[in-house]
Structure 1
């Protein structure tokens, strides 16, 4: 069975998958730092992480929206 989705859709899905895996890693890291009592280091990095995660999330959302529109127009 051949996969009928275009390459942009595959790229967007792969980017979203790795974004959510990375987001899960950040959450686990935050929980581990809280458990070991070094949460203050994580709090210092949180503004930097937040800005990068927000930018990546918006970019990947736009990429997914574009891929969905292109996919729907090609059918």
Structure 2
């Protein structure tokens, strides 16, 4: 997603409810306060994105987080 689109979504989310479907957990974390993690159409985890990122309880959430590219060399 381009930076311009993300910024537009960020502005819209201040006045509207945003429903974002994405596998990009970094994007979700930057735009959303609350999230639902789905695996095969079933809710496996839900709550504040900060809490989920701090302590991912479900294996699928952990898998999504491990897919984020690292900046380490």
Q: Which has the larger radius of gyration?
A: 1
Structure with more relative contact order (C-alpha pairs < 8 Å, separation 6 or more): 1
TM-score normalized by the length of structure 2: 0.26
Give the TM-score normalised by the residue count of structure 1: 0.26
- As a proportion of its length, which structure holds more strand? 2
Structure with bigger helix share is 1
